[in-house]
Structure 1
């Protein structure tokens, strides 16, 4: 994939590892493109039933400063516009691939790094993790759909506290707010994320159909109950027929 994006498949789980520790995994344009490519590679592999995104000691410190500096120096220039767009594509691609996704968050998830964590279907975090927008602290407006991501995961109050007022939360607080499913001590974060992912990954075909229904029904605004019944009807019938066929083989 890239020297800065690790890719490995284990028991049906594709593990995408951000690996630029010297800058706390801040996303350069090349690294963002490699991450999006890795996510698409996982989606294209029918043996993959789940994806885990991890960054080791520090999840992701956001967009690299030179990317932001270039965008500020030439905000309407084609190159800087497209480069920033590629950084956004790193997490919009992760959020759109057709397999369940889990973020294993240790250390800091800041700005675009927080967006990346929020783009996944589920987050497992370290007790001492630092989740913060960080945009206002460096004098820029949030980007990448930040308020929408916060709102859909944790609601308006948390979106206001973090995105508008710049509040930082640790792992324990993140779980209490609904920003993450569980918190763990540092060494246990990746194993917990892999354990969560491996359960659904045992059946990649089913995982992909279930995550499609999940995202449709939990999208902002939701769907009426009767519509949800219809959305689930066809894939459930498919799963029942497949189960019966397997039992008679």
Structure 2
């Protein structure tokens, strides 16, 4: 089974949009290295033959539960240097979405947690489900925020909202995200993909070269890469801590962790 599926929507003989589906329902589309490799391969394909716009969503009314538990658990067994290297590489598999010079709309048609919410911020516009749950839960797991979230949240929303999202790790509904300006729109769950597709079609009516140049001038990939390196280093340090071991134990025992600060 493909972990990332693709669908082409032909608008005319010279115009199309592409839909990418995260597709691992058994783990609620949690992010893994194999999924990341497939995701990157699709992005590379689209870079060679760009559509007018791209929509990223999830299959089976699921968006993404974030980092995979087994992957998270494995970090506690690795060295600082190995984790630092592997986390940076892992993040960049999904953040290749920032290398597309066409508009990207995220149709988060369900809960988006941790890294799952991070990938939505790497897109240009977001449509959330009204009753979906959206949360950066990193500090609740005893680790520094990752997948570029420490940079992306501040880049998009400024320090106040970024700190609210990352420090407090609040769980917000899609409606609350729309009110805060975190997403462009929120609609009932079964209408999220349709709404995002409508936006993609609207974008397809604008000049592709103008949109491409606009994207190049909107984002700074080097700053994102620098933030990713800092995140990877901080997380690698956290993975060695007793607090992170407590995180793993508490998840296995289905209880709240009790952190002691070391």
Aligned pairs for 1:105-120 (under 5 A) are: 105-120=108-123
Match of 2:71 among 42, 51, 67: 67
Partners in 2 of 1:195 and 1:60 — Cα distance? 22
Aligned length: 215
1:27 counterpart SS class: coil
Contact between 1:49 and 1:207, CA under 8 Å: does it hold in 2? Answer: no
Cα distance, 1:3 vs structure 2: 0.8
Match of 2:32 among 28, 32, 39: 28
Aligned pairs for 1:4-153 (under 5 A) are: 4-11=3-10, 12-46=16-50, 48-56=51-59, 57-76=61-80, 78=82, 80-153=83-156
1:190 counterpart SS class: helix
Greater shift, 133-142 or 14-23, is seen at: 133-142
Contact between 2:109 and 2:190, CA under 8 Å: does it hold in 1? Answer: no
Structure 1: gaps (5+ residues): 221-249
Greater shift, 37-46 or 107-116, is seen at: 37-46
Matched, 1:180 2:179: no
Cα distance, 1:172 vs structure 2: 0.9
Cα distance, 1:96 vs structure 2: 2.3
Partners in 2 of 1:105 and 1:39 — Cα distance? 18
Contact between 1:61 and 1:108, CA under 8 Å: does it hold in 2? Answer: yes
Partners in 2 of 1:194 and 1:43 — Cα distance? 20
Partners in 2 of 1:29 and 1:91 — Cα distance? 9
Structure 2: gaps (5+ residues): 11-15, 225-262
Runs of 4+ in 1 over 3 A off after TM superposition: 80-83, 202-207, 213-216
Cα distance, 1:82 vs structure 2: 4.5
User: Which residue of 1 is the match for residue 167 of structure 2?
Assistant: 164
- TM-score, structure 2 as length reference: 0.75
Residues 75 and 55 from structure 1, CA distance in 2 versus in 1: closer, same or farther, beyond 3 angstroms? farther
Contact between 2:58 and 2:109, CA under 8 Å: does it hold in 1? Answer: yes
Partners in 1 of 2:148 and 2:115 — Cα distance? 10
- TM-score, structure 1 as length reference: 0.79
